[in-house]
Amino acid sequence: MKLEYIKTFLKVVEEGSILHAAKSLNLSTSTVSLHINSVEKFFGVRLLERGKIGVKLTEDGKRILPELRRIVERIEKLREDLKKRKKIPVRIALGNIPGILILPKILREFKREYPEIEFSIYIKNSSKCGILLDRHEVNIAIACFLENELKNDYKIVELFKDRLILAVHKKHPLSKYDCVKLKHVLKYPLILPSQSSGIFKYLKKEFTKLGIDLYKINYVEVSNVFSQIHAVINNLGVAITSELLAKFSNNIKIIRILDLNVERKIFLAYRKELTPDERIFIDFIIKKKKYLFDKILSKL
């Protein structure tokens, strides 16, 4: 039985007339009568006595009326409580590249299917993303994590790779080359992002393999990968940085480093205990991973 039918019944009792109730509810008298008949059929007893001057409750009607009022009040209160209930957003931490270049395109696809799900987004370097996970401030992170970097037992999924390249200004002496050796790069001031960034950690690991102490070379540390690119655009030095980001600047020449062929991996890391909305988002990413990232990266 529909709640609407019970409300019609209560209105008829309140007005004492099917005609008056129909006018008040903006319904036809036949529709109101149909609703009343449906309620009576549900309970299997006559609830109203119809007369020429109106209607009155039968003994069964008098008995059931308070319960019907309570049912409607409870349902309406529950409906209001659900409307007022604060929806918990999906909290997600992202590295700079995933957060600025990738996430907006993912959300555009996701919102087509789940427009009601809201997000709280934190764009940090990879170390800070890991810290937010460890502190339970977020349950999901997408960033460049090194092997064994995350402290807890998270579920990890590789999403895509981002090659590290040399970015130089188009008027820089190295711009005439398509590929160079690292020893030629290190003759110039090197612009690097903060030591807690994924790029710095990757470079430190790779330089160590080559027997180079990253801390002893001539480099300038900036806050993030975007500051790296900005410094190169202003011809303040050269940068070993994200190929995905370097593609966006017209004033930058992208050069391969022959003895530093590094692709850093971008991972999705998440807790096993998730809210329902977080689980929907994770399932969406994993299910459509190949389609999403092939499509997005091909357009960068």
Please give the share of the chain, as a percent, with pLDDT higher than 70: 95
Question: What's the CATH number for 161-263?
Answer: 3.40.190.10
What confidence score (pLDDT) does residue 153 get? 76
User: What is the rounded distance in angstroms from the CA atom of residue 45 to the CA atom of residue 65?
Assistant: 13
Q: What is the pLDDT of residues 193-247, one digit of tens each?
A: 999 888 998 899 999 999 999 999 999 999 999 999 999 999 999 999 999 889 8
What confidence score (pLDDT) does residue 88 get? 83
DSSP string computed for 163-217: EEEEEEETTSGGGG-SEE-HHHHTTSPEEE--TTSHHHHHHHHHHHHTT--GGGS
User: What is the rounded distance in angstroms from the CA atom of residue 239 to the CA atom of residue 243?
Assistant: 11
Q: What is the pLDDT of residues 76-127, one digit of tens each?
A: 888 877 766 667 899 999 999 999 888 898 999 899 999 989 999 999 988 8
CATH number belonging to the domain at 3-84, selected among 1.10.1740.10, 1.10.10.10, 3.40.50.720, 3.30.70.2190: 1.10.10.10
Q: In the predicted model, is pLDDT for residue 250 greater than 90?
A: no
Residues whose CB falls within 8 Å of the CB of residue 3, separated by 6 or more in sequence, listed in order? 72, 75
Greatest mean pLDDT range, 22-26, 128-132, 154-158, 175-179:
175-179
Q: In the predicted model, is pLDDT for residue 73 greater than 90?
A: yes
What confidence score (pLDDT) does residue 132 get? 93
Residue ranges of domains in the chain: 3-84, 90-160+265-298, 161-263
Residues whose CB falls within 8 Å of the CB of residue 255, separated by 6 or more in sequence, listed in order? 165, 166, 167, 168, 174, 175, 177, 178, 179, 180
Helices (H), the chain: 3-15, 18-25, 29-43, 59-84, 96-97, 103-113, 126-134, 182-185, 198-209, 225-233, 243-246, 276-287, 289-298
| Reported pTM | 0.67
CATH number belonging to the domain at 90-160+265-298, selected among 3.40.50.150, 3.60.70.12, 3.40.830.10, 3.40.190.10: 3.40.190.10
Same fold, 3-84 and 90-160+265-298: no
User: What is the rounded distance in angstroms from the CA atom of residue 172 to the CA atom of residue 164?
Assistant: 19
Q: What is the pLDDT of residues 133-149, one digit of tens each?
A: 999 999 999 998 766 67
What confidence score (pLDDT) does residue 83 get? 65
